[in-house]
Structure formats: C-alpha cells, structure tokens
Amino acid sequence: MTDQVINIVADIGGTNLRIGVINEKGNVDLLTVYQCNDFDDLSAIVQTFLVEKSIVAKEINACFAIACPVDNDLIKMTNLPWQFSKSELKQILGFKKLLFINDYTAIAHAIPFLNDEQKVKVGGGSVIQGKPISICGPGTGLGVANVVPVGSHWEALGGEGGHVDFAPVDATEIAILEILLKKYNHVSYEQILSGLGLEQIYHALCEIHQRDLPKLSAQEISTNALNKQCDICQQTLEQFCKTLGSFAGNLALTLASFGGVYIAGGIVPRFTEYLINSEFRSRFEDKGRFNLFNSSIPTFVVTESQPGILGASAYLRQHNKEEL
C-alpha cells in the first residue's frame, strides 16, 4: 500500500466507532468496529486500526463522521468524555486531508443512495425527486439532519435538532414532561427519543401508574414490550413510537420534506414492524390544518446497518471530485 492514496472513513458514536477503507468502487473494505470506552482518545483508535490492518500509504485522506458539533477546531463529544483539536489530530496521524462532519450529516449524505433493500417504507405517498429530505435517529442520543440537492450534488444541512424543546401533545406526555422537569432544567426531545429516553419514559410511567417495578435498561424494556411480558414496557414502547411520530412530523413541516423523512439510529430498526403498526404514522400526520400536507410525505426506516460509513464515503468522494 506504500505507493497508493488511501481514503479512510469512520463513524464515531457515543458507544462504538466504525472505521474502514474506501475501495476503487466506492465501497468500504476492512470495516472494523471498536468500543470507544476501551480507548483513551480518538487518535489511539485510529492508530490501532492502521497498525492492525498494516495500512501504510504515501497519502491518506479521511472523513470522520462524529456525534457532536464540528464547526470549531476543538471537538467536544456530546455523549463521550473526549475532546481534541482537529488540526492537531491531523498532524498526529500524518494525514493529508482530515474532514470532520456531524454523524447525521453523514447519514444525510447516505440517504439519496439507499436502495429498497436498505430501507422500509412506513406510510405516506411517493418520494418527490429533487425535494428536501429529513432524517432523525434515536440512539445514544437523537441525531437530526436534512439534505437538499444543489446542482449535481447533495448538500447536508446539519444541526442539533435533537435538543429542541420537547413539546407534549397529550395528557400522558404532559405528565412525563412534568416528571422530567424535576430532574432537568431543560427537557429536549433527546430525553425522550433515545436509549436513555426509553428508560425515562418507563420510569415516568411507573410513577404515573404508581407501579413499583424493577429498573430496566432500554434493551430490556423494548424486549419485554415486544414479547408482551410487561404492560408498562408495552406502554413505554407505544409512547416512544407516538412521540417519534410527532417529532418526525415536525421535521417534515419545517423543511417541506417531500423527499421523505427517514428514521435512522440504532434503536428503531430493532422493531420496524412494531413501528409500522403503532401510532407513529398517525401522529406524524396529526398536524391540525396541515394534516393533508404531511399525509403525502413518505416516511422510512433505514435498515442499512452502516449508513454513517456510507455517508462519510459519499461525502469524501464528493469532496475529492470538487477539488479536481
């Protein structure tokens, strides 16, 4: 590999880091997953990957998708105690090019290239080509992004939409908000639509119904709900799907997302069929005078396991072409 130009992409979340090498066809080879908590910092993971895969090249370019804002040189991760300078990291690694994009900016760049095997439709009309696309994804946090066509390429509109105010729309959600306000000065949608969110809905419903149930993890709650082993767990998952529908519908209204609204992240693909049969879609459309507006907008669950990696690859390849 010493005479080659190597292009590396990574998807850095609050829990896992996925990293690989883009091949000549634009696909990703040598894909490897590391646990972030096993390393002191990002450079240690990247250097471990380079050594393990014997990657040596005259030029290495990279695009890293990361779960936090990337506008400044100093990166501070939202759900992981890591912070570093982008310019210093580039120097430490010896890369010619090191691009950082928000993790949902990466997913946004992947969406236009997904095929029917990489997504599942959950109601609505047909995608209108050339129109804005919105993405949200419950996982460790709640990622949000949008992507719009600009000429011959796609431009992602990043942001931190998961941290907007949680807006309850029924009595149960109002009660959940009141309980969470005892714990937080500000309750965002991320406090509801995430792994932690599932746990917090569960705890709130236990309090609302005066039930003394054991503390459960998000995975245990969803598993119990799907297996119908716990009525509060079932109510928790139902509430999660309803709130997600409302939030996704808000995204559709904000950007007129006639290119579709996509649900990504690590949580929802585990129970896609459940989501389809839930009140997700009715809450998505339940927007008063704008019911008809949202009813025509299609929604999808992203079932592709590595959308961040695909998006980082698409972004880096697009960036390289623009420099030619």
- Greatest Cα-to-Cα distance within the chain, rounded to the nearest angstrom: 67
**H or E segment and range at residue 66:** strand 59-66
Ligand-binding site membership of 161 (annotated): no
> Distance (Å, rounded) from C-alpha 127 to C-alpha 174?
34
Query: Residue 29: is it exposed, middle or buried by C-beta count within 10 angstroms (0-12/13-18/19+)?
Result: exposed
Structure tokens at 60: 């290495």
CA–CA distance, 264 with 303 (Å, rounded to integer): 8
Residue 2 annotated as binding? no
Q: Which two tokens stand for residue 230?
A: 């716990």
The DSSP letter of residue 136 is E
| Three-class secondary structure of residue 220 per DSSP | helix
* 60 annotated as belonging to a binding site for a ligand: no
Query: Is 260 annotated as ligand-binding?
Result: no
Bridge partners (DSSP) of residue 74 are: 85
For residue 194, how many C-alpha atoms fall within 13 Å in the half-sphere facing its CB? 19
Any binding-site annotation on 11? yes
CA angle 18, 265, 234 (to 5 degrees): 135
The structure tokens listed for 58 are 């005259």
Q: Is 297:124 a contact under the CB 8 Å cutoff?
A: yes
User: Is residue 249 annotated as involved in ligand binding?
Assistant: no
Q: Which residue's structure tokens are 């808000």?
A: 250
- Which segments are annotated as binding site? 10-15
Annotated binding residues for ATP, written as ranges, equal 10-15
